[in-house]
Structure 1
């Protein structure tokens, strides 16, 4: 695939090895880094996607998976995520198996949060009847990253937030001691508090078993 080869060559060209180890250590990543910061990666992605347009949806998905599965450096997976957003006309719920693979195999917040908020969330708003039941299933899954996705997927929904779904996904994870789930619960509630502070305050008051972390994050801007 021309784009995959060009992406790997481009990352090597703009790499800064002096930054790579600090980036890997910060992200606690098993994959090494090239040392390409986000601004440089974004410029590279814009150029690559313009120079190597993809002809159809199947090629696009295959290219994303080739970049993702064959990644030797973490930035290759970041470019794969960038590519998932490059063709909005192909976004629909039949992409959920793709996003599920990226969530489960990515298994860390930098990948999962991007997929949850910027890919799954818009699909949920566009086809609520299909994805709301799936998010309820994910909220009780054994995989913590599916569960985090279910909790935070409505981050950008504002007034369109399905409060029943938000409550169900949070309640399914209230008792879990996992840091990323507790932090995700607090983040989801804090973000929705910008739209419906009264709902969030009442929800927190009605759920005394919320962890201190979730409660503190949820009420952070509510006094």
Structure 2
């Protein structure tokens, strides 16, 4: 849907800019898409029905038009995520908080990612709060892979945060601890030792989103280092779920795949 160019010149406060972004998102709303997306994500949020590329374009235009420092990035993201804070909320704001808007929250995540150069490990509490409130992989995964991961690479402040996340009771937080390793491991860098500790401790979990995350990171790591993943997974295949094994096997050689499938199947047979 085509709309007029966003007018944000001279807008400096987070609340006003958030309202401008919200108006642009609503102008692109597609009720049919909203219904389908809500069903696909099994979402409890309200959906406008705006595509991810369109949401990203709105955020990019808004942030291109203003100067951003740390407080501006955090302020705008917070406004988009949960509405104004620090004042007595209006009825409209209370409604926003009770039924959050998916596209506003997606835009908030994009603001943090685009402004991550202004963020540090000191912002871990904010990121963690967003992860806990997200309730869907569509928000958790970029918060983990595109935000927490780069911040962890840039600052040792995040090391203990990830260690704590890895043993959290909330499976979305544990998933974030795993996926924070995804991008660097994908390109042959990153801290595989730490990821392997986290994954080993979660390998027998029954939660699908944990099983899938472990397999996803193993799969992408194997694209550059198949031998590393084969050696790691083979002695653990009997403990791993089918979801994890299927994901991890994709980049491996036929012989490696056969060996891991055999080890996985033998483990299932022994527990039958």
Instruction: Give the TM-score, by structure 1 length.
Output: 0.93
Whether the aligned pair in 2 keeps the contact of 1:67 and 1:76 (CA below 8 Å) is yes
Match of 1:122 in 2: 150
Distance 2:128 2:67 in 1: 22
- Give the deviation of 1:67 after TM superposition: 0.9
- Give the deviation of 1:145 after TM superposition: 1.0
Q: Which of these residues, 175, 178, 190, is aligned with residue 204 of structure 2?
A: 175
Match of 2:55 in 1: 41
Distance 1:197 1:78 in 2: 34
Distance 1:138 1:8 in 2: 31
Q: Which of these residues, 151, 166, 169, is aligned with residue 139 of structure 1?
A: 166
- Structure 1 gap ranges (5+): none
The answer to whether the aligner puts 1:89 opposite 2:117 as a matched pair is yes
Whether the aligned pair in 1 keeps the contact of 2:166 and 2:173 (CA below 8 Å) is yes
Equivalent positions of 1:1-223 (< 5 A) are 1-51=15-65, 53-70=66-83, 72-127=100-155, 129-157=156-184, 158-207=187-236, 208-222=238-252, 223=254
Distance 1:18 1:5 in 2: 24
Distance 1:3 1:80 in 2: 12
Q: Which has the larger radius of gyration?
A: 2
Whether the aligned pair in 1 keeps the contact of 2:226 and 2:251 (CA below 8 Å) is no
Q: Secondary structure at the match of 2:44?
A: coil
- Give the deviation of 1:114 after TM superposition: 0.3
Cα gap change, 1:57/1:111 in structure 2, threshold over 3 Å: closer, same or farther?
Answer: same
CA deviation vs aligned residue, 1:143-198 (integer Å, no higher than 9, x gap): 10111111121111133221210111101211210000000000011011012111
Root-mean-square deviation (CA, aligned residues, Å) is 1.5
Distance 1:135 1:35 in 2: 33
Distance 1:100 1:54 in 2: 26
